Structures are given as C-alpha cells and as structure tokens.
Amino acid sequence: MNSQELLEYVRRVKDLEIGVYEAQQIQDEFYQSVKAHKPRKPAEPRYLSGMIPPPPQEPDEQNAGGAAAAWFFVALAFLILGVWGTNEVEFCGLSVLNFVIAGLAAIATVGVLIDGKRRQEREEEEYQAKLQEYENNLGQYQLRLSEIESENQKKRDLYRKQLVAYSEEVADYVNRSNTERDVLFDAKWKLQAALRNLYEEGIIYPKYQNLVAVSTIYEYLASGRCDRLEGPNGAYNLYEMELRQNIVIGQLSTITEHLEQIKENQYTLYYEIQNANRNSESMLSSIGDDVKFSAYQNAATAKNVETMRYISMMKNVWNGKGF
C-alpha cells in the first residue's frame, strides 16, 4: 500500500470514527432532548368572576329602640327628680324652682321621644330608597352574571378542545420519537459495522483503533510529517512520542472537556469534534422532523455500502503487499 492509498484508508476510518462519535452523542442526549421538545400542555384560561352585591342592610330597630329607651329613662329620671324635688322643697320654701325643674324634665322627655321617632322614620326612608335603587339595578347585575357565565363557558369549551388536540399531539410526538430512536440505533449500527469491517483488514494496529489516535495519525499523514504507520519514522512512533511529551492528548474524555487545548497540535481532531457537536445539536433540535432523521439514516446506510464497495475494490491492492 503506497502513501496515497494509506492516506485514503485512514481518512475513511477517521470519517467513520467521527460518524460513530456523532451518533453516540445524539443517542446519549436523545431522551433528554425528547423531553425538552415535548409539546406543552395548554394553560387553563383565567375565568371571569362575578356576583350579585348584597341588598342594603335594614335599619337595626333594636338598636334604635334601645337608644330611644335610654334617652327616655334619662328624661324620666329628670322628671322624677323634679317631682321629688318639688315635694322635698315644699318644706323649705322652694316650690317654684322645683316646679320649673319638673316642667323642664317633662319637656325633655317629650322631646327625646319625638326625636327618636323622627330618627327612626329617616332611617326607614333611607333604607327604602337604597332598597329601591338595589332592585332597579338587580336586573343589570343578573344580566352581567349571565354574560360572564357565557364567556366562561366558551373558555371552558375551547380549553377542552385544546386538551384533546394536545393529547393527540403528544401521542403523535411519542410515536415519532420512538421511530426516530430506532432510526438512530440503525444508523449507529451501520456506521459501527462499516468501521469494524475496515479495522478487520488489519491495517491499523488494534491499540490505535480509536477516534483520537486515528484522527491524529491522519493529520501526520495528510501534513506530510509521516508517510507510513510503522517504523522509527512512522506515525505510530511519532504519536507515542508526542503523547509522552504531552504535545497531544490521547484520552477522548479529556479532549471533550478541554477542546480548545488541542486546536494547535491536533487540529483535525478539533475540527471533526466541533463539526460533530454542531451536527448532533442540529439533530437533537429537530426531534419530530422525520425527513431529517430519514436523511441521517440514509447517509449512514450509504457510508456502510460505500465502505463495503471500497474494501472489495481494494482487496487486490492490499493482498500480498506491505503497509
């Protein structure tokens, strides 16, 4: 296998490795994304409220009578005092003064009774006026309540329809999500199968059959730093040396957490992971888009078929030749 054939082979391996990585990213976040994009239940409407105001309060006859009685007893006390004073003062020669006191007490008593009666009549008149106004407005109150109930009923009917539509939408969304989940599993399986078939040709040593190593080795070959895999000047040796010197990072978990750190020395891997992350985010934001998921599955199928065609075509080149 010459250097160009090796470069093409490693490129295909790299592309499938990043394809499997992308499919795994989508699969890992799929259920969380499905939950996040699930149709939202419609909010229950705010219903109008209304009530008929209570009628005006009747005058408290007991309190009015009690007040009048209190004033009556006060006046009566003055009257008794005046009469008693008249009898008492007859022995002292002050009968005229006591008659005056008794007369004033009698007048006060009559005045209190008349005032209490008038106050009660005024309160009754005010109550009747308020009652008449209330009865005049009662029809308007009842009409407004009827309008409010009609509007609330329309809102309830609309909300019930929205709930039915929501249930149907959720059922459809769940069915689509299950179909898309199966599509993802199928696409990932086809990419893994194609990658496995390439690795089974035995061109890349098992230790380096992973995304980080293959992408870094591809960059060595594509940049001209190496033109072979093995030997002191081969890609394996250069990769191991740069790992020991911490020039490159070999752990994918570390790379994904500190992606910017590999931009200079492992640019191919940096670019591929960035692109895969964008693609996975795009797929996860398209839950429910059957066309997009179908296209993704078709692309994975095409890669699988193309890989098998490539392996078959290159068999005669690889057989019996060194790497």
With a pLDDT cut of 90, the percent of the chain lying above it is 35
* CA 243 – CA 235 distance, rounded (Å): 12
pLDDT by residue (tens digit) across 157-185? 999 999 999 999 989 888 888 888 899 99
**What pLDDT score was predicted for residue 222?**
94
Structure tokens at 3: 């250097």
Distance between CA atoms of 97 and 103, rounded to whole angstroms?
10
Domain ranges of the chain: 3-44+172-318, 61-164
Predicted confidence at residue 9, as pLDDT, reads 95
Tell me what pLDDT residue 186 has: 94
In angstroms, the CA 234 to CA 280 distance is 34
Q: What is the dihedral of CA 200, 204, 206, 210, to 10 degrees?
A: -100
Question: Two tokens at 233?
Answer: 């000047």
Length of the chain counted residue by residue = 323
Considering only 46-60, 200-214, 221-235, 264-278, which range has the smallest mean pLDDT? 46-60
Distance CA 146, CA 127 (A): 28
pLDDT single digits (tens) 81-112: 555 554 544 444 445 555 556 566 667 666 76
Pairwise CA distance, residues 299 & 26, whole Å: 15
Query: What does pTM read for this prediction?
Result: 0.65
The string of DSSP codes covering 16-64 is: HHHHHHHHHHHHHHHHHHHHHTSPPPPPPPPPP---PPPPPPPP-HHHH
User: Do 286 and 293 touch, CB atoms closer than 8 A?
Assistant: yes
Taken in order 222, 224, 230, 236, the sign of the CA dihedral is negative
- Which pLDDT score, from 0 to 100, does residue 223 have? 92
Q: Which DSSP state fits 2?
A: -
Instruction: With residue 305 as reference, give the H or E element that holds it.
Output: helix 290-318
